[in-house]
């Protein structure tokens, strides 16, 4: 299973753009890239919980300078604060290497943001699910599934029928109905199985007038003789 993470959206400043807002967003994207690279390697807020109090306070103080510079709308202060925060992440990583802290183990996962805003994460094993939540930081929007759990869900009869269809027709795609199945006209309880057939209307309908006069082609016996 390939790893695919949900990337945070980069929002373009409003138009017409405020000069400071342009500069601020650009600098914050720089910092966000450094933060995401750090979290992928060491976990979310993992190292900051392992360092001593003095280091932790310095790190948080530098982070506060970034917010203070944004509030004051000072480009020079913001640039220095962001650069200082990058150095703080570098120092945190150097501390981890020197101390011998292990990096986050590779956890193969696939993430998908659902329509309700929650994030579905699929991993291979139950142990991977525990490690993912531990190292990536708990997120109340996220629900983590391992393959064994998905197999239990897919054992439902309706899903088995869908699986059989997808085996026969690989291009088949499951879609969401725009209303409950029992609300479809003449659909009954399922919306599909007990819909009325129009076979009788076709077989017992009005006879259609002849269009071609087949007698002009002669009998079958005559045709054989030719």
Per-residue pLDDT of the chain (226 residues; tens, 9 = 90+): 344 554 455 566 666 678 899 999 999 999 999 998 998 889 888 899 899 999 999 999 999 999 999 999 999 999 999 999 999 999 999 999 999 998 888 888 899 999 899 999 999 999 888 888 877 777 888 899 999 999 998 888 888 888 888 888 888 888 777 667 666 655 555 555 555 565 665 566 666 666 666 666 555 555 554 4
Residue 159 is predicted with a pLDDT of 86
Crossing angle of the two packed helices 19-42 and 75-99, in degrees rounded to 10? 10
Helix 75-99 to helix 53-72 angle (10° resolution) is 160
User: Is the full-model pTM beyond 0.75?
Assistant: no
What is the structure's pLDDT at 8? 54
pLDDT of residue 186: 56
The structure tokens listed for 163 are 């699986």
- Determine how β-strand 119-123 pairs with β-strand 142-146: parallel
Q: What is the pLDDT of residue 195?
A: 53
Q: Which pair of structure tokens corresponds to residue 126?
A: 């139950």
Q: Identify the three-state secondary structure at position 123.
A: strand
Give the C-alpha separation, 21 to 17, whole Å.
7
Tell me which DSSP letter residue 110 carries.
E
Select from 189, 173, 170, 171 the least CA-distant residue to 181. Answer: 189
Residue indicated by tokens 């944004």: 70
Gap between the Cα atoms of 121 and 34, Å rounded? 23
- Take residue 28 and report the two structure tokens written for it: 């914050």
pLDDT at 1: 37
pLDDT at 202: 57
At residue 62, the 3 state secondary structure works out as: helix
């Amino acid at each position: 299973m390939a790893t695919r993470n949900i990337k945070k959206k980069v929002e373009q400043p409003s138009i017409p753009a405020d000069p400071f807002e342009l500069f601020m967003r650009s600098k914050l994207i720089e910092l966000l890239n450094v933060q995401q690279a750090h979290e992928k390697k060491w976990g979310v807020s993992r190292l900051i919980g392992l360092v001593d109090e003095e280091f932790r306070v310095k790190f948080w103080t530098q982070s506060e300078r970034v917010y203070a510079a944004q509030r004051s709308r000072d480009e020079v202060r913001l640039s220095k604060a962001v650069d200082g925060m990058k150095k703080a992440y570098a120092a945190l990583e150097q501390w981890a290497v020197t101390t011998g802290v292990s990096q986050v183990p590779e956890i193969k996962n696939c993430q998908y943001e659902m329509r309700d805003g929650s994030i579905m994460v699929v991993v291979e094993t139950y142990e991977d699910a525990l490690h993912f939540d531990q190292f990536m930081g708990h997120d109340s929007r996220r629900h983590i599934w391992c393959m064994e759990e998905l197999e239990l869900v897919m054992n439902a009869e309706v899903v088995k029928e869908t699986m059989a269809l997808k085996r026969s027709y690989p291009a088949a795609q499951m879609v969401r109905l725009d209303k409950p199945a029992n609300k479809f006209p003449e659909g009954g309880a399922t919306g599909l199985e007990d819909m009325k057939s129009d076979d009788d209307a076709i077989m017992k309908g009005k006879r259609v007038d002849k269009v071609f006069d087949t007698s002009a082609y002669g009998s079958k016996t005559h045709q054989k003789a030719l």
